[in-house]
Amino acid sequence: MDSQPLVSICIPTYNRSEYLRLSLERYIREPEFLSGCVEIVISDNTSTDDTGVMVQGYINKYANIRYFRNSENIRDRNFPLALSRGRGKLHRLCNDTLQIQQGHLGELCRAVEKYQHEKPFLFFENEGMGQQEIACSSLDEYVKNISFF
């Protein structure tokens, strides 16, 4: 992949190869992934199951899937590490069990194109990407807008 993707889906994982496979199957069906607008970055926390072998099968088919295996299990520090490995304009942290809805990547790509110059904190409701979109200029404003309290 030569050009910068719009979105990096950053997935920290540990010993959940079957869940990760199901998650990857959802992503690779989306047109934005197939066109190269989206990359998937997997940061493996030294899994002892077949995660590496399973992911290699996808890497052989798709140039926009990248896999990193940590030298040791760094626990929760794998989350920011996964995000730092993305090359997209937007880095989206996703867990390895996430089953995205059809159209999810399209909504993310449209948001990046819409806000790429402002670069706000973005929040989307879990119920559906297009239902409520909140753009905030600071972390404090973001927390205030999405907080239950």
Q: Are residues 77 and 147 in the same domain?
A: no
Domain CATH code at residue 97 = 3.90.550.10
Q: Are residues 132 and 79 in the same domain?
A: no
User: What's the CA dihedral at 7, 84, 136, 38 to 10 degrees?
Assistant: 0
Q: Are residues 126 and 99 in the same domain?
A: no
Kindly report, residue by residue over 9-49, the tens digit of the pLDDT.
999 999 999 999 999 999 999 999 999 999 999 999 999 99
Structural domain that includes position 35? 7-114
Instruction: Give CA–CA dist 106/85, Å, rounded.
Output: 22
pTM of the complete model: 0.86
Total tally of structural domains belonging to the chain: 2
**Considering the domain boundaries, does residue 1 fall inside one?**
no
Structure tokens at 95: 């867990």
Instruction: Give CA–CA dist 96/48, Å, rounded.
Output: 15
Strand ranges of the sheet holding 90-93, from the earlier edge strand across to the other edge: 65-69, 38-44, 7-13, 90-93
Q: Are residues 106 and 126 in the same domain?
A: no
Strand locations in 94-137, DSSP E? 121-124, 133-136
Work out the pLDDT band at 1, boundaries 50, 70, 90.
very low
**Considering the domain boundaries, does residue 138 fall inside one?**
yes
Contact 107, 101 (CB under 8 A): no
